[in-house]
């Protein structure tokens, strides 16, 4: 059970995740999607059968912990908006689809299943996202360096992703958690590190939904200090 905190409302929602789906190739400009697919093909990543793509992964991968176990030399995070389908309506938070990059060249599905999916506990209603999407930015840091930065409108509208999922037979009942895809890295290349921080920021109000965590290498007991997980 997760306790989600609704930003600006001083209220909480008890939420039981039942299914976890990762959406990919969700850029609003589909020519950018095809260009990205061609770039990944040069790295050995298989071309998806359909775009956007949806990967169902074990719900047990979902976590709000600030430390996760993963090999930071072969896996990395990426900031994504996340929808929680609650009984009271869809709420949007931010998360990181941490992925095994070595496995990705063999199987995207296996790569997605190999690592935890970290989410922050602060959320806002989907209707607020739709009303302010032109004011929103997605960004992330790896270690202390900027890693990703793009306007929220780089991605497909959340409801368009939902409709694409439904058109493939997907059910959006309560308990579903859906990651909505990520934005490009600043220099176009993947990078690796032990600290990851991602945010969905409203540049007008300077409020943010955040996710942050550090990686603990398998077999190690040396944790890095925790980071502040509160919204800006």
- The rounded mean pLDDT for the chain is 90
Ramachandran assignment for 49, one of left (phi > 0), alpha (psi -120 to 50 degrees), beta (any other): alpha
Separation between Cα atoms, residue 29 and residue 167, nearest integer Å: 20
Separation between Cα atoms, residue 125 and residue 132, nearest integer Å: 11
Strand segments (E) across the chain: 2-6, 11-15, 19-24, 53-57, 62-63, 67-69, 75-76, 79-86, 89-97, 99-100, 117-119, 122-125, 136-142, 145-151, 176-179, 195-202, 207-216
Q: Are 14 and 1 in contact (CB under 8 A)?
A: yes
Asked whether residue 200 carries a pLDDT value surpassing 50, the answer given is yes
Q: Per-residue pLDDT averaged across 19-25, rounded?
A: 96
CA 225 to chain CA centroid, nearest Å: 23
Beta strands 19-24 and 176-179, pairing class:
parallel
Per-residue pLDDT band for 44 (boundaries 50, 70, 90) equals confident
Per-residue pLDDT band for 224 (boundaries 50, 70, 90) equals very low
Sign of CA dihedral 203, 205, 206, 212: negative
Angle (CA) 43-143-151 rounded to 5° is 70
Q: Write down the pTM of the prediction.
A: 0.91
CATH 3.90.850.10 holds for 2-216 = yes
Strand pairing partners for 55? 22
Q: Are 55 and 70 in contact (CB under 8 A)?
A: no
* Closest among 191, 4, 173, 193 to 89, alpha carbons compared: 173
Say what percent of the chain tops pLDDT 70.
92
Q: Which residues contact 229 (CB under 8 A, 6 or more apart)?
A: 66, 120, 121, 210, 211, 212
Q: Are 112 and 58 in contact (CB under 8 A)?
A: no
Q: Are 194 and 72 in contact (CB under 8 A)?
A: yes
- pLDDT tens digits for range 126-158: 999 999 999 999 999 999 899 999 999 999 999
Q: Per-residue pLDDT averaged across 95-109, rounded?
A: 92
Q: Which residues contact 108 (CB under 8 A, 6 or more apart)?
A: 24, 45, 46, 48, 53, 55
Q: Pick the residue with more confidence: 39 or 102? A: 102
The pair of structure tokens assigned to 5 is 């905190």
């Amino acid at each position: 059970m997760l306790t989600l905190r609704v930003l600006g409302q001083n209220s909480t929602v008890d939420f039981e995740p039942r299914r976890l789906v990762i959406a990919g190739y969700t850029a609003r400009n589909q020519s950018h999607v095809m260009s990205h697919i061609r770039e990944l093909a040069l790295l050995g990543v298989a071309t998806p059968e359909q775009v956007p793509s949806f990967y169902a992964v074990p719900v047990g991968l979902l976590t709000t912990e600030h430390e996760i176990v993963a090999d930071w030399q072969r896996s990395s995070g990426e900031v994504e908006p996340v929808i929680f389908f609650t009984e009271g309506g869809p709420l949007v938070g931010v998360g990181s689809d941490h992925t095994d990059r070595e496995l990705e060249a063999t199987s995207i599905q296996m790569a997605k299943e190999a690592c935890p999916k970290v989410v922050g506990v602060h959320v806002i209603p989907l209707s607020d996202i739709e009303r302010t999407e032109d004011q929103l930015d997605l960004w992330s840091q790896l270690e202390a360096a900027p890693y990703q930065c793009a306007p929220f409108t780089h991605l497909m509208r959340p409801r368009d992703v939902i409709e694409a999922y439904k058109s493939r037979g997907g059910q959006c009942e309560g308990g579903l958690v859906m990651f909505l895809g990520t934005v490009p890295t600043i220099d176009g290349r993947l990078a690796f590190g032990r600290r990851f921080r991602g945010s969905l920021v409203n540049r007008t109000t300077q409020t943010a939904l955040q996710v942050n965590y550090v990686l603990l290498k398998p077999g190690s007991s040396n944790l890095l200090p925790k980071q502040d997980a509160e919204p800006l």
